[in-house]
Amino acid sequence: MALRIALIGNPNCGKTTLFNELTGSSQSVGNWPGVTVEKKVGCLKKNSGTEIIDLPGVYSLSPYTMEETVTRDYLIGERPDAVIDILDGTNLERNLYLTLQVMELGLPLVLAVNMMDEVKSRGDTLDCRTLGELLGVPAAPIVARKGEGLPELVTLAEGLARGRLRNSIHLCYDDNAERALNRILCVLADAHLPEKYPLPFCASKLLEGDDSVAEAIGLGTGKRKEIAAIRADYGRKSGPGGRETMMADARYRLIGRIVGEVVTRRRDPQEPTLSDRIDRIATGKWTAVPLFLLVMLGTFAGTFGGPGRALGKLVESGVSFLGLLLTLALNDAGAPVWVRTLFLDAVLGGVGGVLSFLPQVSLLFLFLSILEDSGYMARAAFITDRLLRRIGLTGRSFIPMLMGFGCTTPAIMAAKGMGSERERRLTILLTPFMSCSARLPIYGLFAGIFFTKHQGLVILSMYLTGMLAAVLCGLLLKGTVCRGESSAFVMELPPYRLPAPANLALHVWEKCRGFLVKAGTVIFAMSVAAWFLQNFGPPLHMVEDPAESFFGIFGRWIAPVFAPLGFGNWQSSAALLTGLAAKETVVSTLYIVFGDEGIAAAFTPVSAFSFMLFCLLYMPCMSAFVTVKKELGSWWAACRNALFQTTVAWLVAFAFYQTASMIGHIFGEGSSGRDVALAAFILAAFALIALALSVLYKSLRNFIGGDRPEGCAGCPMQHRCKQKNKP
Amino acid sequence: MEKRTLRDLRPGERAVVSALSGEPLSRRRLADMGITPGTPVFLRKTAPFGDPIEIGLRGYELTLRKSEAEHILLDETEKGMKSWPCGSR
Q: What is the CATH number of the domain that holds B35?
A: 2.30.30.90
**Residue span of the structural domain in which B44 resides:** 6-82
The residue that leads in pLDDT, A128 or A324, is A128
Q: Radius of gyration over alpha carbons of chain B, in Å?
A: 12
Of A208, A259, A269, the CB nearest to B89: A269
For A386, the closest of B31, B47, B88 (CB atoms) is: B47
- Whether A110 and A157 have beta carbons less than 8 Å apart is answered as yes
Residue at A643: amino acid letter: L
Q: B77: pLDDT confidence band, cut at 50, 70 and 90?
A: low
Long-range contacts formed by A549-557: CB under 8 A, 24+ apart: A551/A593
Number of residues written out for chain A: 727
Tell me the average pLDDT across A328-341: 81
Q: Which residues pair with A140 in a beta bridge?
A: A112
Helices (H), A349-500: 353-355, 358-374, 376-390, 398-403, 408-413, 421-430, 440-450, 455-479
Judge contact between B58 and A269, C-beta under 8 A: no
Of the candidate ranges A7-11, A454-458, A567-571, the one whose mean pLDDT is the lowest? A454-458
Dihedral sign (CA A60, A61, A66, A67): positive
pTM of the model: 0.81
- Residue B24 resides in a domain: yes
C-alpha span between A137 and A68 (Å, rounded): 23
**For A491, what's the count of Cα atoms within 13 Å in the CB-facing half-sphere?**
27
Q: Which of B42, B51, B61 to mutate to test the interface with A (most CBs of A within 10 A)?
A: B61
Lowest average pLDDT, out of A115-124, A154-163, A590-599, goes to A590-599
Which residues, 6+ apart, have CB-to-CB distance to A328 below 8 Å?
A: none
Final residue of a domain: which of A127, A161, A195?
Answer: A161
The CA distance from A117 to A14, in Å, is 13
Which of B33, B37, B66 lies closest to A719 in CB terms? B66
- Give the integer Cα–Cα distance in Å for A193 and A314: 64
What is the CATH number for A235? 1.10.287.1770
Q: Which of A60, A92, A493 sits opposite B63 (nearest CB)?
A: A493
B25, B54, B65, best to mutate vs chain A, most A CBs in 10 Å:
B65
A723 belongs to a structural domain:
no
pLDDT at A501: 87
Distance (Å, rounded) from C-alpha A383 to C-alpha A340? Answer: 55
Report residue A708's pLDDT band, with 50, 70 and 90 as the boundaries: very low
Q: How many CB pairs under 8 A join A and B?
A: 155
Whether A110 shows a pLDDT value over 70: the answer reads yes
**ipTM rounded to 2 decimals:** 0.89
Chain A nearest-CA residue for B19: A241
Q: How far apart are CA B71 and CA B21, in angstroms?
A: 5
> What's the rounded Cα separation, in Å, for the pair A323 and A344?
7
Q: Is the peptide bond before A539 cis (omega within 30 degrees of 0)?
A: yes
- Please report whether residue A717 resides in a domain: no
What ranges make up the beta strands (E) of B8-52?
A: 14-20, 40-46
Domain extent at residue A357? 293-480+501-699
Q: Across residues A704-712, what is the average pLDDT?
A: 49
Residue A612, pLDDT above cutoff 90: yes
Least confident of A116-125, A181-190, A465-474, A514-523: A514-523
Is position A100 within any domain?
A: yes
B76 vs chain A: nearest CA distance in angstroms?
A: 15
Strand boundaries in A183-283, DSSP class E: 263-264
A582 and A460 assigned to the same domain: yes
pLDDT of A648-704, one tens digit each? 999 999 999 998 888 888 877 666 777 777 788 888 888 888 888 877 877 777 666
- Looking at the structure, do residues A415 and A306 belong to the same domain, yes or no? yes
My answer on whether A155 and A180 are in the same domain is no
**DSSP run (H or E) holding A509:** helix A501-518
Q: Is residue B32 one of the residues assigned to a domain?
A: yes
Both A250 and A365 in a single domain? no
Residues A154 and A181 in one domain: no
C-alpha of A581 from chain center: 21
The distance of B53 to chain A (nearest Cα, Å) reads 8
Is residue A301 predicted with pLDDT exceeding 90? no
Q: Does residue B27 belong to any structural domain of this protein?
A: yes
In the predicted model, what is the mean pLDDT of residues A125-136? 92
Q: Which of A289, A395, A492 sits opposite B62 (nearest CB)?
A: A492
Please judge whether B65 and A60 are an interchain contact, meaning their C-beta atoms are less than 8 angstroms apart: no
- Comparing CA positions, the residue from A503, A35, A122, A390 lying closest to residue B87 is A122
Q: Which of A560, A651, A650, A661 is nearest to A605 (CA)?
A: A661
Whether residue A248 and residue B48 make contact (CB cut-off 8 A), yes or no, is no
DSSP class of residue A669?
A: S
pLDDT of A108: 93
Distance from CA of B86 to the nearest CA of A (A): 9
The residue type at A611: F
Give how far A727 is from chain B: nearest CA, Å. Answer: 14
Question: Residue A295: CA atoms inside 13 Å, Cβ hemisphere, count?
Answer: 20
Is A256:B83 a contact under the CB 8 Å cutoff? no
* B35 located within any domain: yes
Checking DSSP bridges between strand B14-20 and strand B72-75, what pairing results, if any? antiparallel
Does A281 fall in a domain? no
Confidence at A242, pLDDT banded by 50, 70, 90:
confident
Taking CB atoms and an 8 Å limit, are B58 and A93 in contact across chains?
A: yes
pLDDT in tens, A31-41: 666 665 778 88
Each residue of A278-289: pLDDT tens digit? 888 888 888 888
CA distances from A182 to A213, A234, A253, A607 (A): 17, 12, 18, 75
Please judge whether B88 and A93 are an interchain contact, meaning their C-beta atoms are less than 8 angstroms apart: yes
Longest dimension (CA), chain A: 92
The partner residue sitting opposite A240, judged by closest CB among B18, B22, B68, is B18
The distance of B36 to chain A (nearest Cα, Å) reads: 6
Q: What is the mean pLDDT of residues A558-578?
A: 88
Determine the Cα–Cα distance for residues A238 and A177; give it in Å rounded to an integer.
Answer: 8
Rounded average pLDDT over A220-227: 88
DSSP state of A54: E
The H or E element spanning position A587 is: helix A585-602
**How far, in Å, CA of A237 to CA of A214, rounded?**
23
Cα-flanking dihedrals φ and ψ of residue A422, to 5°? -60, -45
Looking at the fold, whether A75 and A213 belong to one and the same domain comes out as no
- For A91, the closest of B37, B54, B60 (CB atoms) is B60
Say if A715 falls within a structural domain: no
CA distance A512 to A362: 6
Which positions in chain B touch A94 (Cβ < 8 Å)?
A: 33-34, 58-60
Give chain B's domain count: 1
Is B89 part of any domain? no
Kindly determine whether residue A490 and residue B68, on different chains, have CB atoms separated by under 8 Å: yes
Rounded Cα distance, A204 and A491, in Å:
25
Cβ–Cβ gap A94/B19 under 8 Å = no
Task: Quote the CA–CA distance of A282 and A716 in Å, as a whole number.
Answer: 30
Contacts of A459 (CB under 8 A, 6+ apart): A304, A440, A443, A444, A447
Tell me, yes or no, whether A51 and A115 share the same domain: yes
Running DSSP on this structure, what letter comes out for residue A271? S
- Please tell me whether residues A39 and A74 are part of one structural domain: yes
Residue B88 forms part of a structural domain: no
A377 pLDDT band, cuts 50/70/90, is confident
- What's the number of CA atoms in the CB half-sphere (13 Å) around residue A642? 19
Which has the closest alpha carbon to A657: A565, A530, A541?
Answer: A565
Looking at mean pLDDT, say which of A58-67, A342-351, A513-522 comes out highest: A58-67
Cβ atoms of A21 and A68 closer than 8 Å: no
pLDDT at A31: 66
Judge if A669 and A541 occupy the same domain.
yes
Answer whether B67 sits within 8 Å of A719, measured CB to CB: yes
The amino acid present at A105, given as its one-letter code, is: L
CB-based contacts of A275-282 (< 8 A; 24+ apart in sequence):
A275/A375, A275/A495, A275/A496, A275/A497, A278/A496, A279/A379, A279/A493, A279/A496, A279/B61, A282/A376, A282/A379, A282/A496
- Look at B29 and A93 and tell me if their CB atoms are within 8 Å: no
Residue A411 falls inside a structural domain: yes
Confidence of residue B88 (pLDDT cuts 50, 70, 90): very low
Total number of domains in chain A: 3
A301 with A257, same domain?
no
Q: Compare all CA atoms of chain B with the CA of A378 and give the residue at the minimum distance.
A: B63
First-last CA distance in chain A:
59
Q: A143 phi and psi, to 5 degrees?
A: -125, 95
Neighbours of A109 (CB within 10 A): 25
Query: In terms of domains, do A258 and A394 share one?
Result: no
